[in-house]
Amino acid sequence: MDTTAAEFDIELRLLLDAIYQRYHYDFRGYAHASLRRRLRSAMQHFSCGTLSHLQSRVLHEPEAFPALLNFLTVPVSEMFRDPGYFKSLREQVVPMLRTYPSLKIWVAGCSTGEEVYSFAILLKEEGLLERSLIYATDINPVILHQAEAGVYDVDRMASFTENHRRSGGASSLSDYYAAAYGRALIDPALKKHVVFSDHSLATDNVFAEVQLVSCRNVLIYFDRDLQDRAIGLFREALCRGGFLGLGSRESLRFSGHSGAFVDVAREDRIYQKREAA
Amino acid sequence: MTGTTLLGRVDAVVIGTSAGGVEALGEILPALPAVCVPIVVVLHLPRDQRSLLPEIFQSRCAAAVCEAEDKQPLEAGKVYFAPPNYHLLIDDGPQLALSADDLVNFSRPSIDVLFESAIDVYGERLAAILLTGANQDGAAGLAAVAGAGGIAIVQDPAEAQVSTMVESALARTSDVLVLRLAAIAQVMQTLDAGGPS
């Protein structure tokens, strides 16, 4: 029996409700197009013919939920992804960050940590790491553990190295990892400046005042209301004159909070919170 | 086959192509009426460069050509190109959605991702067109469009600059119109958003 699109969408909403009530993870504000695709992959993995069947499994088998969470929060990241973004940070944001005696940076939706370590390396190169603390948050504890481990396929390092070079990196990326047995292990000295923590942009609140928030390719998965909630959190967390960086196809243009920010690097989606916002 | 008309039959058209795609699209997009149904295109491009496709096609098309933005509503009279390094999907609304999920068929944007998401929103009121290309992306999506009762069209492999993509699709489903670009261009002329008057 084929499930119609309308039936699938009913089951989708019911599943998201069930997950929220049972596990307190709130995906109800996620854009449906990507959810449908991810949940179809999950249905295959769990050998479930319908989302209702998957819902039953997830409700009654607590061990199934972490596996489903891995489908709902697909980790994809690169070190120094969009080199122009990091180049603009170096040129236009770092000079302002230097004026603070201590720095707090929030990488929201940090996934497997590639961007977190990109920031740590950038701060090290700019001589700011010793006075910096990076909050790396994500909703998926399994992925956070991977981020904290900082172990990547050594095959990926060539493209990361090229990204890093194009971002204006003054040192060699290979100074920051040790390669062995096909793996690249991030220098533990970088990790001393990172706090990994479970945090949901959908249900949690602000936890610290920070000078920079980087949240890239997370908002595209949210509907407009949830996007606005997340941007509101960033606004609240940022100090006056603090900076916000988004993904290369994300913007504040349609957000109710757009008036609280000014463009710093339009093409690279870097914004600054107004002094009076 | 000639004389195929999609007038009043579809609410949107999705197009996928890869190697040789700029030239092939150049044969068919200029045939669109100014107020066509929404057209959404994935053309595989290098992931680390800015796309020049809207600039390339705008001067030759009566319809407005743009690069797709996240949550942009789909409108008549517009051709949307997927931006580099993002999947492009059609979401409820209908509106466009971007995703940075992993590569599909070694591609991001992936044609399968676009086609499969479009089926969820448009069902049988969708046409999918697959043109020249050197990999298998789009084959599964095109077969799914045909399976959902939509209209599946492929460029005649004898004419395609690279026929791999089209042949992969034909290996999956026979419920497909095989047309030369000139005939696809004639189909494009029938894509008035107003439907039959």
Over residues A213-237, the pLDDT tens digits come to: 999 999 999 999 999 999 999 999 9
Q: State both tokens at A153.
A: 């396929």
Q: Which of A72, A100, A123 is the last residue of a domain?
A: A72
> What is this structure's pTM?
0.93
pLDDT band at A277 (very low <50, low <70, confident <90, very high): confident
Same domain, A188 and A108: yes
Same domain, A40 and A168: no
Over residues A110-134, the pLDDT tens digits come to: 999 999 999 999 999 999 999 999 9
Same domain, A66 and A88: no
Instruction: Give the amino acid at A237.
Output: A
Is residue B196 situated within a structural domain? no
Place of tokens 């980087």: A214
Sequence-distant (≥ 6) Cβ neighbours of residue B160 within 8 angstroms: B20, B24, B131, B132, B133, B166
Size of interface A-B (CB pairs under 8 A): 55
DSSP B155: E
For residues A182-210, average pLDDT: 97
Q: How far is Cα A164 from Cα B97, in angstroms, rounded to an integer?
A: 29
Asked whether the predicted pLDDT for residue A33 surpasses 80, the reply is yes
Please tell me which of the candidates B71, B85, B101 has its beta carbon nearest to residue A34.
B101
Q: Please report residues of A whose CB lies closer than 8 A to that of B91.
A: 31-33
Is residue B160 situated within a structural domain? yes
Q: State residue A117's pLDDT score.
A: 98
* CB neighbour class for A266 (10 Å; exposed up to 12, middle 13-18, buried from 19): exposed
User: Which CATH number belongs to the domain containing residue B175 in this structure?
Assistant: 3.40.50.180
Same domain, A145 and A22: no
In terms of residue numbers, what domain contains A47?
Answer: 5-72
Q: Residues A68, A70, A72, CA angle at the centre, nearest 5°?
A: 75
Could you tell me if B100 lies within 8 Å of chain A, comparing CB atoms?
yes
Alpha-carbon distance B144 to nearest alpha carbon in chain A (angstroms): 13
Is residue B1 situated within a structural domain? no
Q: State residue A2's pLDDT score.
A: 65
- Tell me if A147 sits within 8 A of A138, measured CB to CB: yes
Q: Which of A72, A95, A127 is the last residue of a domain?
A: A72
Q: Please report residues of B whose CB lies closer than 8 A to that of A269.
A: none
For residues A207-217, average pLDDT: 97
Q: How far is Cα A86 from Cα A103, in angstroms, rounded to an integer?
A: 17
Is residue B5 situated within a structural domain? no
Active site residue B44: yes
Same domain, A60 and A121: no
Asked whether the predicted pLDDT for residue A247 surpasses 60, the reply is yes
Q: Please report residues of B whose CB lies closer than 8 A to that of A33.
A: 89-92, 97, 99, 117, 120
Report B:152-191 residues touching A (Cβ under 8 A): none
Is residue B146 situated within a structural domain? yes
Same domain, A153 and A212: yes
Q: State residue B3's pLDDT score.
A: 62
Is residue B121 situated within a structural domain? yes
Same domain, A60 and A192: no
Q: Which residue of chain A comes nearest to B49, CA vs CA?
A: A82
Asked whether the predicted pLDDT for residue A1 surpasses 70, the reply is no
Q: How far is Cα B100 from Cα B140, in angstroms, rounded to an integer?
A: 20
Q: State both tokens at A160.
A: 């990361």
- From first to last of its 197 residues, chain B has per-residue pLDDT tens of 456 778 789 999 999 999 999 999 999 999 999 999 999 999 998 777 778 899 999 999 999 999 999 999 999 999 999 999 999 999 999 999 999 999 999 999 999 999 999 999 999 999 999 999 999 999 999 999 999 999 999 999 999 999 999 999 999 999 999 999 999 999 999 999 876 54
In terms of residue numbers, what domain contains B153?
Answer: 12-189
Is residue A78 situated within a structural domain? no
Same domain, A54 and A101: no
Q: State residue B51's pLDDT score.
A: 82
Is residue A10 situated within a structural domain? yes
Same domain, A47 and A66: yes
What is the Cα A174 distance to its own chain's centre? 24
Mean pLDDT, all residues of chain A: 95
Asked whether the predicted pLDDT for residue A89 surpasses 60, the reply is yes
Is residue A77 situated within a structural domain? no
- DSSP E strands in chain B: the ranges are 12-17, 39-43, 64-67, 78-81, 87-91, 95-99, 126-130, 151-155, 177-179
Q: Please report residues of A whose CB lies closer than 8 A to that of B119.
A: 5
Is residue A38 situated within a structural domain? yes
- Interface touch A34/B99, C-beta < 8 Å: yes
Same domain, A50 and A111: no
Q: Which of A38, A72, A106 is the last residue of a domain?
A: A72
- Interface touch A31/B97, C-beta < 8 Å: yes
Same domain, A66 and A176: no
Sequence-distant (≥ 6) Cβ neighbours of residue B149 within 8 angstroms: B123, B124
Q: State residue B31's pLDDT score.
A: 97
- Tell me if A200 sits within 8 A of A219, measured CB to CB: no
Is residue B2 situated within a structural domain? no
